[in-house]
Chain A
Amino acid sequence: MIPEPAADVRDVRVAAAGTTLVDGLTLTVGVGERWGVVGPSGAGKSLTAAAVAGLLPPGTAATGSVRVGGTELVGASESALASVRGRGVALVAQDSAVALHPLLTIGRQLAGPLRRHQGLDRAAARARVAELLTEVDLPPELARARPAQLSGGQRQRVALAGALACRPRLLVADEPTAALDPPVARALLDRLDRSLTATGTALLMVTHDLGVLAAVCEHVVVLAGGRVVESGPVPEVLAAPEHEVTRALVDAARLSVPEVRA
């Protein structure tokens, strides 16, 4: 039997206020595969991530099909979506300073999904939180801290720990390193890489940084104006970009790499 892919996206269209923002996206993320979604601003990258995570914002309407672990997300009820979250798909957003509750301790925020999706009691959840923090290279004592006491990199690790807490089939990450400085971003990407390998979780990552793409992803889709203009294995697309949008992204990314002449 062929295993159900982590995510099967068929002809997805997302519209808001009469404007089509994602225009017929088809994409299959196999079990444990790592896909990147790149493109210029306004290409529809974040809405694509939101549609696959079942978290489209109010005021948007989607058609087509998004199946995660066999469950259809397009047009699904809130209770059906809740059953997919945690175990099926989880999200890491760009800025966890906004995604985390400012007044609750890290421990309470990480325990929430464990108790909701896995039915752990208070003591079991607390023990699991300590494990999760250790898994993302944070000291377990951080469970008592509040988000404002953490650095941006530590907050993103907490968000990653929370997203992977219930071992989802698919992690959707929307610019997870855009708010971090390069050394911290690089460390988070290394952590993400090891955590995905350890848990067998597939990845769909939105980024505008082709260096980030090359560091983590195997496959890439390039979006422009809501449509896929190019897709393929990351090394091939970066070495020989075919579409002008991809070429402009590659040229722009090279700007950020210093030339070191010995």
Chain B
Amino acid sequence: MTATFVLDGVARRYAVPGDRPWRRVPRVALDGVDLTVPAGRDLAVVGASGSGKSTLLRLLLALEAPDAGTVSFRGETVSPRDPGELRRAVGVVAQDPGSSLDPRLPVGASIREPLECLAVPGDHGARVAELLDAVGLDPAVAGRRPAGFSGGERQRIALARALAARPAVLVGDEPFSAVDPTTRRRLVTLVGDLARASGTQLLLVTHDLGIAQRLCADVAVLDAGRVAETGPVDDVFARPAADATRALLDAVLPVEVA
């Protein structure tokens, strides 16, 4: 079976602020990443800030081209100019629903947008109502704008939009980090249930090792622009082989007082 994503020797550099406000210095964000995401295996990508998680995601989504190496989706090399079937097959939930939803559009129109852009056949109005119901919102709210919703509700709307065109893969970029813990717990359950029910493969970038373990079978640990370790999440957390993995596990703050 063809892998969902394959990264082969992928590198990416950026210019970052230097010692004066107007100066920029180069920084290596990804430094020769090889990673295979098999079809049907939910993957969590974890790592410290600056390890390259967000860059990896932008390259996987063909929003940027690598400086070296190739990114392929289902066996086809993808790039911003030629994303192939990627846009149709992948739905994305961003970190901050406050900025990822268009503030001028009623939320129903935001959810409907991918159906129209991708010319998905069927009754779009009925699909929007079905999606709102699936994420636990009253379909009657479709006419309201994002400002009228809480952060957790907006993230449910973003999830409905990401799932609208029945993608094969749902990509989340820290989708749970901007909401409070009680809301987060409900959202995590909802994402897990919806992905399982629709057979959607999850690719989740997160800081939260507990959520990575609950939602995904596999984990890839990034460190300083390289893949430090990858494997089944329970094995990697029980027997970490890389220092970067141990550092992440050591940083988990227990809820109980010792």
Contacts A103-B21, A184-B48 hold; do A252 and B253 have CB atoms under 8 A apart? no
A84 to chain B, nearest CB (A): 31
* A181 close to B49 (CB less than 8 A): yes
* Binary CB contact string for chain B from 1 to 36 against chain A (1 if under 8 A, 0 otherwise): 000000000000000011101000000000000000
Residues 83 to 109 of chain A near chain B (Cβ within 8 Å): 102-103
- A contact residues around B234 at 8 Å (CB): 261
A184 to chain B, nearest CB (A): 6
Among A184, A210, A260, which residue has its beta carbon within 8 angstroms of that of B255? A210
Within 8 A of B (CB), among A131-164: 144-146, 148-149, 151-153
Q: Is A227 an interface residue (CB 8 A)?
A: no
Contacting pair B252 A151 (CB below 8 A): no
Tell me if A238 and B211 are in contact (CB < 8 A). no
Answer whether A262 and B238 are a contact pair too, CB < 8 Å, given A148-B17, A252-B182: yes
Taking CB atoms, residues of chain A closer than 8 Å to B76 are none
Contact with A41, one of B49, B150, B212, B250 (Cβ below 8 angstroms): B150
Instruction: Check B182–A186 contact: CB distance below 8 A.
Output: no
Q: Scan A181-217; emit 1 where CB is below 8 A from any B CB, else 0.
A: 1111110010000000000000000001111101100
A15 to B257, CA, bound (A): 35
Chain B residue with the shortest CB-CB distance to A250: B255
| Residues 155 to 214 of chain B near chain A (Cβ within 8 Å) | 179-185, 188, 207-214
Question: Once bound together, how far apart are the Cα atoms of A186 and B49, in whole Å?
Answer: 13
B150 contacts across to A, CB distance below 8 A? 41
Confirm or deny: B122 has a beta carbon within 8 angstroms of a beta carbon on chain A. no
- B49 near A209 with CB under 8 A, answer no
- Pick the most buried of A41, A144, A152, A189: most chain B CB atoms within 10 A of its CB: A41
Give the secondary structure class of A's interface: helix
Q: Does A166 contact B (CB under 8 A)?
A: no
Considering the chains assembled together, what is the distance between the CA atoms of A102 and B185 in angstroms? 36
Closest chain B residue to A253, Cβ basis: B255
Q: Are A253 and B251 in contact (CB under 8 A)?
A: no
Complex: how many Å from CA A93 to CA B150?
22
Q: In the complex, are the beta carbons of B48 and A212 less than 8 A apart?
A: no
Which residues B83-125 have CB closer than 8 A to chain A?
A: none
Q: Quick check: is A81 within 8 A (CB to CB) of the other chain?
A: no
CB-based contact A182/B210 at 8 Å: no
Complex CA–CA separation, A253 to B50 (angstroms): 25
Residue numbers in B under 8 Å from A252 (CB-CB): 181-182, 184-185
Q: How far is the CA of A110 from the CA of B19 in the complex (A)?
A: 18
Per-residue CB proximity of A224-262 to B under 8 Å, as 1/0?
Answer: 000000000011001100000000111111111111111
B256 proximal to A (CB < 8 A): yes
* A260 engages B238 (CB within 8 Å): yes
Instruction: Return the CB mask of B22-62 against A: 1 if under 8 Å, else 0.
Output: 00000000000000000000000000111000000000000
Flag if A256 contacts B182 (CB, 8 Å). no
User: In the bound complex, do residue A214 and residue B207 qualify as a contact, i.e. CB atoms below 8 Å apart?
Assistant: no
The closest CB in chain B to the CB of A211 belongs to B253
Whether A149 pairs with B253 at a CB distance below 8 angstroms is: no
Given known A-B contacts A103-B21, A208-B181, A255-B184, A183 and B248 have beta carbons under 8 A apart = yes
Question: Are A238 and B182 interface neighbours, CB within 8 A?
Answer: no
Closest partner residue, chain B, to A218 (CB atom): B257
Determine if B139 is an interface residue (Cβ-Cβ < 8 Å): no
Does A56 interact with chain B (Cβ within 8 Å)?
no
B253 & A212 in contact (Cβ 8 Å cutoff): yes
Q: Is A40 in contact with chain B by the CB < 8 A criterion?
A: yes
Answer whether residue A27 sits at the interface, using C-beta atoms and an 8 A cutoff: no
A102, A146, A151, A181: the one contacting B207 at CB < 8 Å is A181
The answer to whether A211 touches B255, judged by C-beta atoms less than 8 angstroms apart, is yes
Cβ of B249 within 8 Å of any chain A Cβ, yes or no, is yes
A residues near B256, Cβ cutoff 8 Å? 214, 238-239
Task: Name the residue of chain A whose CB is nearest to the CB of B235.
Answer: A261
A180 within 8 A of B: yes
Given contacts A41-B183, A145-B19, A255-B214, contact A238 B253 (CB under 8 A): no
Q: Interface on B for A, CB 8 Å cutoff?
A: 17-19, 21, 48-50, 150-151, 179-185, 188, 207-214, 234, 237-238, 247-257
Question: Would you give 18 A-B contacts (Cβ < 8 Å), ordered by A?
Answer: A40-B180, A40-B183, A102-B21, A148-B21, A151-B49, A182-B207, A182-B248, A183-B250, A184-B48, A186-B253, A214-B255, A234-B257, A238-B255, A252-B182, A252-B184, A256-B210, A258-B237, A258-B252
User: Given contacts A182-B207, A209-B253, A257-B254, could you give 7 more A-B pairs where the C-beta distance is less than 8 Å?
Assistant: A183-B247, A211-B252, A238-B256, A255-B184, A255-B188, A256-B210, A257-B255
